[in-house]
Amino acid sequence: MTLGTEQNPLRVAIVGAGPSGFYASEALIRSDLNVEIDLIERLPAPYGLVRSGVAPDHPKLKQAIKVYDKIASENAELNYIGNVTVGKDITVDELRESHHAVIFTCGAETDRRLGIPGEDLLGSYTATEFVAWYNGHPDYRDRKFDLSHETAVIIGQGNVAADVSRILSKTVDELKETDISQHALDTLAESKIKNVYVIGRRGPAQAKFTSKELKEFGELSDSDPIVDPAELALNQASEAELAEKSNAGSKKIYDLFVGYSERDPTSKSRKCYFQFLRSPVELQGNDRLEKVVIERNQLSGDAFKQSARGTGDMYELETGILFRSIGYRGVEMPGVPFHESWGVFPNADGRITENDIVVPQMYTAGWIKRGPSGIIGTNRACAVGTVNALIEDVSKLDTAESKSGREKIYSLLDSRNVQYINYQQWKTIDQVEIERGEAKGKPREKITSIDEMLSLIS
């Protein structure tokens, strides 16, 4: 029987309800095939990093949720199954038995490590856990961050580092009308942090902020951006990089640094220092972090291929809290090949591979496919590419045996007493969050307990 017809619909399970999961669903729905899609998410709440990763003071970036809501609400082909962990509540092999294809869009869930002594001292954290904590992610709601120290250090100079630095530099008044979680707002209200150091291993010409993100630091009510003019001196290769027309974004960033370096000091109580050509080599302390040993670097290599190497010039910076933000990486899932050094599911054009051989039925899209690169919208083209590969493979997919799709999933979950939710039930939770937020003058007050979410629909 032909696959993808009304009599024999193409049944696809998508694991992960972030941007890539919704874009893959949309691409399948728009195809010429008759499809049934089960979008499986380990949390009750969908939307992935758009919900739990985008900074609360950047609400425009969350507008993508309206697109995802429309995809889920207006297409009967798409079925949401929330609060189900693949690899625990249901196995990958079981999904391959129940569906013609499985697309993994589970993102990059953790941070790369620094790989230095003392990295696991109390007071040393990943940017991921701090971002998830202030965004109300259930896995991180109970984390404790001691902000009683005057100095915080952020390692990395990308937009996640900018988010962490900006949240630490803002006043409660600047945050209280956002959807930041109440537990985070309460902790930040007691913060004693006065100095935030944002440290990059390369120079100001290689910083990976966007100019829009960096510009915000000049507009904070009680924090000044500080840049030492001496740190803006460029080598010849960096000058060549900034002169390249295609690199206009980096030139804008450099010009902002120059502008900050020329500012007169103000009476604002907090300072955010942007520092370059430095790398942490050791974190020190007895029971908890007390200081960071930092080595100064120098750049070598041709333009756009420069690497930072230590000079042997060391100094110490006292601090009680540090966040590393040097890139996300994916994590393993039982039953799926994993490339340990790259932190992705190995693939060829979205088709998952093992030892360079394509694994039938298994596909991937998003950060777990290509690594943590691009913006939210980048995931659409990535997901479409994967779906195109899947559609090319339809004739090869197993059609000899009947695939029962969601019926099989529900049967297995029911037999294991797993409480799963559908999209309408999520919308009930969503409405409660919005109503609670309205009472506080916020867009929403996120529910951070899975048990509480489930109690609203039971």
In the chain, DSSP finds a helix count (H) and a strand count (E) of 16, 18
Same domain, 24 and 69: yes
Q: Is 174 inside a domain boundary?
A: yes
Element of type H or E holding 78: strand 78-82
Same domain, 391 and 317: no
- Phi-psi region at 423: left, alpha or beta (left = phi > 0; alpha = psi -120 to 50): alpha
Q: How high does pLDDT run on average in the chain?
A: 94
Same domain, 381 and 320: no
- Bridge partners of 125, per DSSP, are 323
Taking Cα atoms as reference points, which of 311, 382, 320 lies closest to residue 23?
A: 382
Same domain, 275 and 362: no
The total of structural domains in the chain comes to 2
Same domain, 261 and 168: yes
Helix-, strand-, coil-residue percentages of the chain, each rounded to 5 = 35, 20, 40
- Bridge partners of 309, per DSSP, are 298
What is the pLDDT at residue 300? 96
Structural contact between residues 390 and 12, judged by C-beta atoms closer than 8 angstroms: yes
Structural contact between residues 135 and 127, judged by C-beta atoms closer than 8 angstroms: no
The CATH number of residue 261's host domain is 3.50.50.60
Residue 402 confidence class, pLDDT cut points 50, 70, 90: confident
Q: Is 415 inside a domain boundary?
A: yes
Taking residue 318's Cβ as centre, other Cβ atoms within 10 Å add up to 13
* Residues 123-141: b if buried by 16+ CB within 10 A, e if exposed: bbbbbbbbbbbbbbbbebb
Q: What is the mean pLDDT of residues 292-307?
A: 97
Q: What is the mean pLDDT of residues 340-366?
A: 93
Same domain, 313 and 354: no
What is the pLDDT at residue 218? 96
Q: Is 426 inside a domain boundary?
A: no
What is the pLDDT at residue 25? 98
- Bridge partners of 103, per DSSP, are 14, 363
Q: Is 454 inside a domain boundary?
A: no
Residue 364 confidence class, pLDDT cut points 50, 70, 90: very high
Q: Six-digit token pair at 353? A: 């591979």
Same domain, 214 and 319: yes
pLDDT in tens, 8-52: 899 999 999 999 999 999 999 999 999 999 999 999 999 999 999
Place of tokens 């620094």: 114
Element of type H or E holding 310: strand 307-318
Same domain, 235 and 371: no
Flag whether pLDDT at 341 surpasses 90.
Answer: no
Strands 291-300, 278-284: pairing kind: antiparallel
Flag whether pLDDT at 1 surpasses 80.
Answer: no
User: Beta-strand (E) ranges in 109-266?
Assistant: 110-111, 124-126, 151-155, 195-199, 223-226
Q: Is 444 inside a domain boundary?
A: no
Q: What is the mean pLDDT of residues 420-448?
A: 97
Q: 246 CB contacts (<8 Å, ≥6 apart)?
A: none
Element of type H or E holding 407: helix 406-415
End-to-end Cα distance, the chain = 40
Same domain, 288 and 358: no
Residue 279 and residue 207: Cα distance in Å, rounded? 14
Residue 409 and residue 412: Cα distance in Å, rounded? 5
Q: Which of 327, 346, 364 is the last residue of a domain?
A: 327
Residue 297 and residue 301: Cα distance in Å, rounded? 13
Domain ranges, residue 289: 112-327
Taking residue 117's Cβ as centre, other Cβ atoms within 10 Å add up to 12
Q: What is the largest CA-CA distance in the chain?
A: 75
Structural contact between residues 98 and 404, judged by C-beta atoms closer than 8 angstroms: yes
Same domain, 233 and 299: yes
The CATH number of residue 415's host domain is 3.40.50.720
Taking Cα atoms as reference points, which of 272, 269, 296, 125 lies closest to residue 213?
A: 272
Q: Is 224 inside a domain boundary?
A: yes
pTM, to two decimals: 0.93
Q: Which of 271, 294, 327 is the last residue of a domain?
A: 327
Same domain, 130 and 93: no
Flag whether pLDDT at 271 surpasses 70.
Answer: yes
CA 280 to chain centre: 23
Same domain, 227 and 340: no
What is the pLDDT at residue 239? 97
Q: Is 455 inside a domain boundary?
A: no
Q: What is the mean pLDDT of residues 327-341?
A: 87
Flag whether pLDDT at 416 surpasses 90.
Answer: yes
Backbone angles phi and psi of 217, in degrees to 5: -65, -20
pLDDT > 70 in the chain, percent: 99
pLDDT in tens, 208-260: 999 999 999 999 999 999 999 999 999 999 999 999 999 999 999 999 999 99
pLDDT in tens, 111-163: 788 999 999 999 999 999 999 999 999 999 999 999 999 999 999 999 899 99
Flag whether pLDDT at 401 surpasses 70.
Answer: no
Element of type H or E holding 335: none
Q: Which of 304, 327, 350 is the last residue of a domain?
A: 327
Backbone angles phi and psi of 438, in degrees to 5: -60, -35
Q: Is 425 inside a domain boundary?
A: no
Place of tokens 């291929």: 305
Flag whether pLDDT at 399 surpasses 70.
Answer: no
3 state DSSP class of 425: helix
